[in-house]
Structure 1
Amino acid sequence: MRRSATALAAATVTLTAGAAAATTANAQPAATTAASVSTAAAPGTRADAAYLTILFGRTQRQSMDRGCEPLPNSVPLTRVATVMRDRGVSGVGNVVVKRTGQTPYCFENYVETTSWNDLTQLRTNYGWTFTSAGMNYLNMTQLTRAEQHAESCGSVGALARRGHTRAWGLFAYPNNKLNDTIQAQVVKKCFAFGRKYGTGLTSKAAGTKWPNWQSTLSVEGGKCADPTQPCNSLLYKSIYMTPAKLIPKVKVNPGYWSTLQFYRFVTGTSSPGTAMQWNCSGPENTHWTSDAELYCIRDFIRVIDAIPDTVRVTDPATVAEAWGVKPSA
């Protein structure tokens, strides 16, 4: 059962800089079993139920500063997973297979990747499942047919061999580079749905229509949402998506599936001179982040706490099973 925002607000939102900077390798998960937050199909799954998926783009471990040290006040992924488990829900990570190693590493001097062991721990201790963002995160529209197949379908087996057997539910097209031909002739052979960025809401009628696109809302940071504040004039392309904008997305009606995709999280305010900057203090409409993939953990908690008990938080494979959508091969 999900716990209320009132009961958990103070304890969960308070994240110190030291705790946030700790790596997931040192984090000790609680004794709660994954079964209590499992996203796998269960009795009572129905086509007319209300579904919600919380995706995590590329399943990134933590934001890094120059020199590949964790950014002060950045929030590691296991902390996010714990916040969700405390509320009886779990996440779905999009995995880039070739960016996942035996140990975490600093990717392009801005993010720490998850390792295969991290993914196993998220699955067994937090009830997470994983789907694919490709073998190498390549632009599918610039590949030959054989390369498209290897990039997409090749990842299903690679993930299954690591114990992640629910990847067939969704292919998360890298950078939203897609078209109907690739979806119908290649990706549908191995995946139930293809991810397309949009409003985040997919009706059963739309999701079951060939070639089975689903809509995912990419949750972005950016300049603050209040046009009367100086932070709204910051030179960032995107506008920070406040909880007020996202909470209606988790109040899903029967027969619909809502999907929100987050990336990396921060808390408090950034340190002067760090590679990325943000302010998560004060009213939510004044929150801002310099990177579109950064989001304030306190706002994420507000959104998760707003999920009604009538909505089932689950993975794409469960929705596919309920709606009768299968890979075509």
Structure 2
Amino acid sequence: MLFGRTQWVSADKLCKQLPNTVTLGRVASVMKDRGKAGVGNVVVKRHGVTQSCFSNYVISPSWNNLTQLRTQFGWTFTSAGMTYANMTTLTPTQQHAEACGSVGALARRGHTRSWGLFAYPNNKYTDKIQSQVVKKCFAFGRVYGDTATSNTVATKWPNWQTTVSVNGGKCADTTQSCSTLPYGPTYMTPAQLIPKVRVNPGNWSTVQFYRFVTGTSAPGTVMQWNCSGPENTHWTSDAEIYCMRDFVRVLDAIPSTVTVTDPATVAEAWGVKPSA
């Protein structure tokens, strides 16, 4: 269970939490109640002594928040780079500083498991960058896709891993007017996601969420959503916000036979290490 860029909560233009939004701390508590912990992708330079607002509409957690998620809720953290730079536009030296530099930066904060996975910012990657730079300090490189990762694929050089990015958007019920809303992708319902958490032996399934909301949005707010009614009528105006009740549905559908863990643990189990 991956959380893109470890975003704390959605905010308004003044960096105040929007009504009916759910903090990542609350998400962590819900997961702990079910004996599960999350994994956050961290953009190192977006975190500070206090919570801060990024791009006006997202509150980023403080370093203390991340420490609390690790010590109280069992979370671990992977890297999305120092600055979330497009790796394909950097020189090899810059690529190394962006990716590998983040491992030490996170370890100095007590987050020593980040070597398990590098989450390429905005899915910008090449085989050359993965094999010549990122593999020196990470076991796996994340790419987006729609399937689980088998151990026969993930254990082959240069060790790519597939992650499902869970998107909000217009509703899935094409008989409803919400299916024509101008909100990019179609909302991914629990019915679509539940098969992805029913993992077969020898496979690694990763679903990545972002920020969460409940009920309906307040009129006139910068983001809009409707999480009431049947799940196939749920919609959100931002691809990175998702209904909390649907997340819990997916969470509760994970079979007891499935291990919920972090990339470094998978790497250790499958014998995959950074190459340096």
TM-score by length of 1: 0.83
SS across alignment from 2:184: coil
From 236, 244, 253, the counterpart of 1:297: 244
Paired residues of 1:66 and 1:274 also in contact (CA < 8 A):
no
What is the Cα deviation at residue 200 of structure 1? 4.1
Give the aligned partner of residue 270 of structure 1.
217
Give the aligned partner of residue 53 of structure 2.
106
Give the aligned partner of residue 131 of structure 1.
78
Partner Cα distance (2:263, 2:210) in 1: 18
From 126, 150, 161, the counterpart of 2:97: 150
SS across alignment from 2:171: coil
Which structure 2 residue ranges, 5 or more long, are not aligned? none
Partner Cα distance (1:196, 1:105) in 2: 28
Given the alignment of the two structures, is residue 309 of structure 1 paired with residue 256 of structure 2, yes or no?
A: yes
Give the aligned partner of residue 222 of structure 1.
169
Written as runs of structure 1 = structure 2, the 5 A alignment for 1:122-201 is: 122-201=69-148
Give the aligned partner of residue 38 of structure 1.
none
Q: Which letter does structure 2 place at the counterpart of 1:181?
A: K
Give the aligned partner of residue 55 of structure 1.
2
Partner Cα distance (1:55, 1:184) in 2: 23
Farther off after superposition, 99-108 or 161-170: 99-108
SS across alignment from 1:93: strand
What is the Cα deviation at residue 66 of structure 1? 1.9
Give the aligned partner of residue 272 of structure 2.
325
Partner Cα distance (1:172, 1:93) in 2: 10
Paired residues of 1:172 and 1:194 also in contact (CA < 8 A):
yes
Q: Post-superposition, which runs of at least 4 consecutive aligned residues in structure 1 deviate over 6 A?
A: none
Give the aligned partner of residue 280 of structure 1.
227
What is the Cα deviation at residue 67 of structure 1? 1.5
SS across alignment from 1:168: helix
Q: How many residue pairs are counted as aligned between the two chains?
A: 276
SS across alignment from 1:84: helix
From 253, 256, 261, the counterpart of 2:208: 261
TM-score by length of 2: 0.99
